Structure 1
Amino acid sequence: MAKSQPGGAISPPQNVIIIGGSLSGLMHGLMLHRLGSAVRILEQSPTDTPASHMAGVCLGGDVLQLLTRFDRISEVPLGISSAQMQSFDQRGKVNPFLRVSRIMSSWDALYFRLRANFDMRASEYIPRPPPLIPLADEDMEAAKERASYEVGKQVVGVEQLETGQLMVRYKDQADGGKDGQALADLVLGADGSNSIVRRTLSESGQTERKYSGYVAWRGVVGEEQVSEETPDAFRKNIIYSILPDRGGHVVVYNMPGKSGSIKPGQRVLNFCWYTNVPRSSLDGIMTDVDGKRHHTQLPPGRVRVEVWEKQREYAKRIFAAPYFEIIEKIALPFLHLITDYYSPRAFFAGGKVLLVGDAATLLRPHLSFSTNQAAYHALLTERLVTGHLTAEEWEYQVTTAAYLHWRRSIWYGEYFQRPLYVSIGSAVLFWATSVLARLRTWIGWLPKQEI
């Protein structure tokens, strides 16, 4: 962890291994590299150019704060501004219901932006990455050596040695599955919802994802593919509607198109339709075109034709025209189960192993908060490694905030998908949890820390 230097200054950990190279891993890697750590990101994906996630992300306040400090690509827009949330009735009439300013981007655009800042990875989104910022006593080559992003590394375990250092063991899929190992002073588990770090270090029963009872049907359509009226209907960017007859709810918003373009006509419309599906029916929709049963996600192009046709027939009966036009134009639908979990622990080995991002808590998507949670963790981790927080204080802030947001995401999901009495119960539980946390802080049972 952080070490004291002469004069009372705190130096960051010298060698850091981050397990997982998605958004959370890159946010932490960028921050720690700028502080002076040698950062090695181990990503199990076999390719250095990940396939498009075809997913939108909301750039919340903590994301913007982190980018303001560490992003050096100001000439490329962050995303598309959203002025308000609104809904359609079945006749297609727009009904505004919440004015809120947001910036909507895409997973791909943010990923390659972070890669460009972390290790100068060029892409169609950022063709000319900015040079890294060397420390006062190093040259550019030394700065590059401190930023390593390695693919095909499947981590299988983390252990603490008698020396106090950490040993990370992995299978090198780029070398035929050969065993590999690496030493670190700090290890971050940023390996997402199926985190190996969480599963191996947490107590039994604290690591499992739970199915929420509904799924998300998703797809993207280019603005140029639909009639002129449909993009105009989404000009305020976010449409959020509860559907009749327990048809679930649907969300549509603009996000950057090819190469991150935000020009009207070059953007894409991101479609997400949540429907209730009993566990007994999952085999039917989660089995792909080749007969393989997927557990939580069915990738684009793998949904069986008859399954998607059944959904489209159902959509004809309940969707307003702008929604249905988008459904008709989706060429590669994909599907994922809505699951969630909360980990009551976020650090291990005396604070030398941390869980961050979705590895710590998987929120339901209705808050659009997962990306912001990752940035919030990165900003807190900066305070930890620079000596402004103890490991216990860091974990308190991470887990307390995560639990409240997790409870709130469940409340929102139940409100949209369930009968009113169920959502009322979820709302009461969230507010009781929130009030109790503040009361315990006021009494002095919990430390007074901003959450």
Structure 2
Amino acid sequence: MAEAVKKRMVVVGGSIAGLMHAVALKSHGHSVVVIEMRTEQQLQARAAGLSLWSNAQKVFTTYLPDVELDDIVFRNPAFPILDKDGKVLVEVPFTEDVRTSCWAGLHGLLWMACEKDVEGHGSVTMRCGYQVCGLTEQADHLVVAYKGEDGAEEEITADIVVAADGARSHLRSLVLPDVKTDYVGYVAWRSQFPEKDAPEELRCAIEGKMPLCMLDGSYIVVYLSPSTIGDMRPGNRVIEWCWYDACDASTPVFADYMTDVNGIRHNVTVPGNLLRPDVWEAQLKRRDKVLSPMWRKIFHESNPPLLTAVRSFDNTKASFFGGKLLLAGEAFIQLRPHLGASCDIAGLSAITLPRVLTGEMSLEEWEKKVAQHAMEKAIGSRATGIFGMTGQWPEGYTAESAAKFSEEVTA
């Protein structure tokens, strides 16, 4: 196997996608600087469930060898489809190995792996609280400009820049100004409750199953998750729920929902601690006719939900400036969240990028492989959302048709 020439790497974005790339590149001897707009405290405060498909799992098993995967994730054998009263209509086995965990726990493990000194590996330097504000190409490298809260601008030189700065990526806007994230017509309300409080109809979630409850034009997905600090012990875990419901962006209802307790209008997410209580009460009243007593009880007893306006965009172009700038994670493509497959695309990018640097894979092969996988998951996520909201799969949709279409659009 050829040895990669050691590179100066900058990863923009310190979330899951960014740290996957940082730990993979570090493990192959490269020097990595991670630039993250949020402070370390703000990153740690983020808590939500997270699904790991096979590529994301491979990042952990390959680059975090001291971590036993089964100690941090739950296996999901099936998803029972329930009616609004919790009666099982059908139970569908998962055809792929999908596992769930919590964002905070996995992010913490990746962070520690980045900071850990390992003989023969490179290093990762974390620079939190800094915002990237410019990018220029100079000869065979890129110069990244960034600034902190004091407004003082600094520069760093890199052989390769990995843009993992999320769906509203500043770096993507420089090279793909016409690619923008679009609201898809519905919102997601997300919260959790202790597993001990799970009603009988949802006890299957404690076995790792992922029930999907149909609610006449909306649906709720439920799954087991570690506590917000990653505690996997029975009795300390939580049941996460995510309710997808239509909301027209042109209506006063949408604008009202996205305005927080301080009167600030949000474009994407209103955190639970900023959600106005009257907004949540208005949502429950608006959908009261389709809510069973079970769900009314769960909703009233759960923590205030996080509200997200679901957005997405498609894209197949990941490489710019002759491969010196690479888009990753949601800076590359934003999926609808129904499959929980976003970090799998970042995982595939991270585990195959070192092969490009050693010459085992061409840059073109890498870009096509990631794009094809991303488009396949994008089609599947869109179809799953339509099924959840309507009870019907899109006409002609199959996993095989999605794979064939993704091959065609990336050919």
Query: How high is the TM-score relative to the length of structure 1?
Result: 0.83
| Partner secondary structure for residue 162 of structure 2 | strand
358-367 or 297-306: which moved more? 297-306
Query: Do residues 112 (structure 1) and 82 (structure 2) align?
Result: no
Identity of aligned residues (%): 27
* Alpha carbons 1:239, 1:253 under 8 Å: kept: yes
Post-superposition shift, 1:159?
A: 1.4
Post-superposition shift, 1:312?
A: 2.5
User: What is the alpha-carbon distance in structure 1 between the residues aligned to residue 326 and residue 126 of structure 2?
Assistant: 19
User: Higher relative CO (CA 8 A, sep ≥ 6), structure 1 or 2?
Assistant: 2
| Alignment partner of 1:266 out of 236, 250, 269 | 236
Post-superposition shift, 1:339?
A: 0.7
| Partner secondary structure for residue 287 of structure 1 | coil
Name the residue aligned to 1:435. Answer: 404
* Alpha carbons 2:87, 2:201 under 8 Å: kept: no
Name the residue aligned to 1:361. Answer: 333
| Alignment partner of 1:403 out of 375, 391, 405 | 375
Query: Do residues 198 (structure 1) and 183 (structure 2) align?
Result: no
* Alpha carbons 2:182, 2:312 under 8 Å: kept: yes
| Partner secondary structure for residue 211 of structure 2 | strand
| Partner secondary structure for residue 406 of structure 1 | helix
User: What is the alpha-carbon distance in structure 1 between the residues aligned to residue 109 and residue 88 of structure 2?
Assistant: 34
Query: Do residues 24 (structure 1) and 17 (structure 2) align?
Result: yes
| Partner secondary structure for residue 118 of structure 2 | coil
Name the residue aligned to 1:127. Answer: none
The aligned amino acid for 1:112 is: G
Name the residue aligned to 1:94. Answer: 88
The aligned amino acid for 2:105 is: A
| Partner secondary structure for residue 109 of structure 1 | helix
Q: How does 1:147-226 map to 2 (within 5 A)?
A: 147-162=124-139, 164-173=140-149, 176-202=150-176, 204-205=177-178, 207-224=179-196, 226=197
Q: How does 1:169-318 map to 2 (within 5 A)?
A: 169-173=145-149, 176-202=150-176, 204-205=177-178, 207-224=179-196, 226=197, 229=200, 232-236=203-207, 237-244=209-216, 246=217, 248-281=218-251, 282-314=254-286, 316-318=288-290
Cα distance change on mapping 1:325 and 1:347 into 2, 3 Å: same
Post-superposition shift, 1:319?
A: 3.1
Post-superposition shift, 1:305?
A: 1.4
User: What is the alpha-carbon distance in structure 1 between the residues aligned to residue 31 and residue 384 of structure 2?
Assistant: 41
Name the residue aligned to 1:133. Answer: 118
Cα distance change on mapping 1:72 and 1:419 into 2, 3 Å: closer
Aligned residues: 405
Query: Do residues 391 (structure 1) and 363 (structure 2) align?
Result: yes
* Alpha carbons 1:13, 1:185 under 8 Å: kept: no
Cα distance change on mapping 1:439 and 1:251 into 2, 3 Å: closer
Which structure 2 residue ranges, 5 or more long, are not aligned? none
The aligned amino acid for 1:259 is: I
User: What is the alpha-carbon distance in structure 2 between the residues aligned to residue 365 and residue 440 of structure 1?
Assistant: 21
Query: Do residues 103 (structure 1) and 99 (structure 2) align?
Result: yes
Cα distance change on mapping 1:434 and 1:50 into 2, 3 Å: closer
Post-superposition shift, 1:398?
A: 1.8
291-300 or 303-312: which moved more? 303-312
* Alpha carbons 1:212, 1:340 under 8 Å: kept: yes
| Alignment partner of 2:76 out of 82, 85, 109 | 82
Q: How does 1:341-380 map to 2 (within 5 A)?
A: 341-380=313-352
Query: Do residues 42 (structure 1) and 35 (structure 2) align?
Result: yes
User: What is the alpha-carbon distance in structure 1 between the residues aligned to residue 400 and residue 62 of structure 2?
Assistant: 34
The aligned amino acid for 2:404 is: V
* Alpha carbons 1:407, 1:426 under 8 Å: kept: no
User: What is the alpha-carbon distance in structure 1 between the residues aligned to residue 404 and residue 256 of structure 2?
Assistant: 42
The aligned amino acid for 2:9 is: V
331-340 or 85-94: which moved more? 85-94
**Which structure's CA Rg is the greater one?**
1
User: What is the alpha-carbon distance in structure 2 between the residues aligned to residue 106 and residue 342 of structure 1?
Assistant: 26
* Alpha carbons 2:48, 2:228 under 8 Å: kept: no
Post-superposition shift, 1:386?
A: 1.6
* Alpha carbons 1:414, 1:426 under 8 Å: kept: no
Post-superposition shift, 1:425?
A: 5.0
Cα distance change on mapping 1:83 and 1:411 into 2, 3 Å: closer
Post-superposition shift, 1:191?
A: 0.6
